[in-house]
Amino acid sequence: MNLDGGAETRHVKRVLAAIAHDAAVSNPKSGSKRNRVPRTIEASWRRCVLSHGIEPHKVRQPVILSHVEVTPLRDRFDVLKSIFAPELDRLHERLAKLDYVVLLANADGITVDVRCSDEIDKEARDSGLYPGVIWKEDFQGTNGVGTCLATGQPISVVMDDHFAIHNTPLTCTVAPIYSPDQELIAALDVSTPRPTDHQTQQLVMQIVANAARRIENQLFMAHFQSGHAIVALSQDSRFSDLASATLLAMSSGGRVAAWSPAAKTLLDPVIERSTMEYRLQDQVDLFIRTRAEGEEPIVLEDVTSGRFFARCLSDGETVQRQKSGPQARAKPRARQEPTSKQISEVIVGADPVMERNFALAARIVDAGLPILVTGETGSGKEVFAKHLHRISARAKGPFVAVNCAAIPETLIEGELFGYRPGAFTGAAKSGYRGKVAEANGGVLFLDEIGDMPLELQTRLLRVLSEMELTPLGGAPIALDLLVISSTHQDLEALVAEGRFREDLFYRIAGANLTIPPLRARRDRRLFITEMFEGLCDAAGRDLTLTPEVLHLFETYPWPGNVRELQQILRYAIAVSESETVELTALPARLTAALEPRAASSHKTETERLVIEQTLKRCHGKVSAAAELLGISRSTMHRRMKRLGVKR
């Protein structure tokens, strides 16, 4: 829906006048009178102009992600579907007759779930109220979802409170959703394309805020219920609605391990919460007993905190054995590399092929079968092999990796099979066990086995067939190990060419698992963001990726697969100067890779953003920006002209 020219002009003047009010406050002689604009809206308008660099009549239409792009984002919430879905359904059932659409957006402002009635489906879609639309404030200006995420606070944006002219027919009322770790993870929004007013939205806000509170409390209970008593505090003795309660998780020693997100609005974080914790620390056993016996809630009265009712909602299956405090659940911030367990959990992601691989691996890893893992270079074959070791009955045994392509042909036999002292001239006095013997009782990982020399393949076949090793100059050693091999090559083709032994192929390929390349994974966006978060934790940084960067990451072909991704992410984390990773923080070769795909409209927009952000970073200096992007000054000018970019 578009406004007529006069209405557009009035909206632009109203926005600019409100922004100018700041100057009027500091300059009383200006004679400016304050417009009737809510303070939160006025502050957002200022951010849009002064921080985001956008204008009300020049905001682009909403960026819309494809179904393929949205699916992994939605899948990430599917894990919590049993918590989110009922609240979305309940909210829509209550407000649908008033022509409201219910939306759930993730922390990046991208709509991942929608409830909409057939009657207003077309209007809703025309207004951008459907999955895949990006509503971040720096994309769309002041709007319900974007401004809620920018401030972390509930907000109603009524019609011409919106910054962008094309959004002014909408009214959006939104509440933030925080995780048990107090991180902003989503925004719950109800929007209508029909006219309404601020007074009506005050009532709607209460409904939406309560729904968000219920979701937060259920997330909190699911997170802490094992090993903690979950206690609810409320000023309502009936505990009629979970939305009215503040929750806390208590350890067996009576210590409060965590407060639910609602505590920050109900209790002062220093005085009142500390007072309440002191009153509660000796009550944990009483809470559990009153829950078991169905007694009335405990009354807590304090001069500072007022009167609260406390009731135990869950006693925790292992609360009496719980010894660790809240720091056991704290998000790691030490500079340390992710463990193989953490990495393998990221590697599986939500890709159907990897899910099948992990499910099959769990069934075959202890079946006595040798396993062949295939996949492109850098796709994560060794990480997968380490996961197999970790979940196997041999987890306490060694994991020994041998890169058959990295060891010189003249040394690989001794490296694999070892030798006894004095076995040959120049041999080490103490001898050498060899990788195969080192892996005894555990897992032997033969990486890039397709590069193993034919002569050595014969000896390896004998060892694997007999499960017995005879080091040079030594006595036979009985073996008990799992052999996992990997290759990026087509071993069957090598067999046909006579470059790989057919009998060895069948000996190592008891089960064959293929790791898909990163570009073929259906959960690329989820996979990338989870790996990014893990590397940020390891680096002690708290960063986010912009939607432009995520889009580039999703469409880039990743010839180096996961290994290349890790290096790119490490680089971006290291060079980012703000809390957001922009396109300018990426290596030039990555953004330059967009050039061959000039036909893509997504590419054109991304390239424009890269150049604009680089120019901004270089204070408008074309030569400096060209150097940063790794292109000549003349090429930079041509691209600026083609894309309509000005200094």
Residue 239 in this model has a pLDDT that exceeds 70: no
- Residue-wise pLDDT for 518-560, tens only, equals 888 888 888 888 889 888 888 888 899 988 888 888 888 888 8
Residues 604, 598 contacting (CB under 8 angstroms): yes
- Residue-wise pLDDT for 279-303, tens only, equals 555 555 555 555 544 455 565 544 3
- Residue-wise pLDDT for 143-192, tens only, equals 999 999 999 999 999 998 999 888 999 999 999 999 888 889 999 999 99
Give the C-alpha separation, 529 to 106, whole Å.
13
Parse the chain into domains and list their residue ranges.
1-197, 225-326, 352-515, 522-643
67-76, 97-106, 161-170, range with the lowest pLDDT: 67-76
Q: What is the mean pLDDT of the chain?
A: 78
Residue 322 in this model has a pLDDT that exceeds 50: no
311 vs 599, more confident: 311
Q: For the range 599-605, what are the long-range contacts, defined as Cβ-Cβ under 8 Å and sequence gap of 24 or more?
A: 600/555, 602/551, 602/555, 603/555, 604/643
Give the C-alpha separation, 70 to 111, whole Å.
8
Bridge-partner residues for 250, per DSSP? 229, 256
Q: Do domains 1-197 and 352-515 have the same CATH topology?
A: no
394-421: average pLDDT? 78
434-462: average pLDDT? 88
3-state secondary structure 107-170: CCCEEEEEECCHHHHHHHHHCCCCCCEECCHHHHCCCHHHHHHHHCCCEEEEHHHCCCHHHCCC
Give the C-alpha separation, 66 to 73, whole Å.
11
Residue 271 in this model has a pLDDT that exceeds 60: no
Does the domain made of 522-643 have the CATH classification 1.10.8.60? yes
- The pTM of the whole model exceeds 0.85: no
41-54: average pLDDT? 87
Give the C-alpha separation, 557 to 269, whole Å.
48
- Residue-wise pLDDT for 326-380, tens only, equals 333 333 333 344 444 444 454 555 678 888 888 888 888 888 899 999 998 888 8
- Residue-wise pLDDT for 369-380, tens only, equals 999 999 988 888
- Residue-wise pLDDT for 571-605, tens only, equals 899 888 888 898 888 887 776 655 544 444 545 66
- Written as six digits, the tokens of 629 are 């992007």
Give the C-alpha separation, 347 to 343, whole Å.
6
- Residue-wise pLDDT for 27-38, tens only, equals 333 344 444 678
- Residue-wise pLDDT for 183-224, tens only, equals 899 999 999 998 888 777 877 888 898 899 999 988 988 888
Class of domain 1-197: alpha beta
Which pLDDT score is estimated for 501? 93
Residue 318 in this model has a pLDDT that exceeds 70: no
Q: Say which residues have a Cβ less than 8 Å from residue 238's Cβ, sequence separation at least 6.
A: none
Residue 511 in this model has a pLDDT that exceeds 80: yes
148-152, 445-449, 624-628, range with the lowest pLDDT: 624-628
Architecture of domain 352-515: 3-Layer(aba) Sandwich (3.40)
3-state secondary structure 29-59: HHCCCCCCCCHHHHHHHHHHHHHCCCCCCCC
7-14: average pLDDT? 82
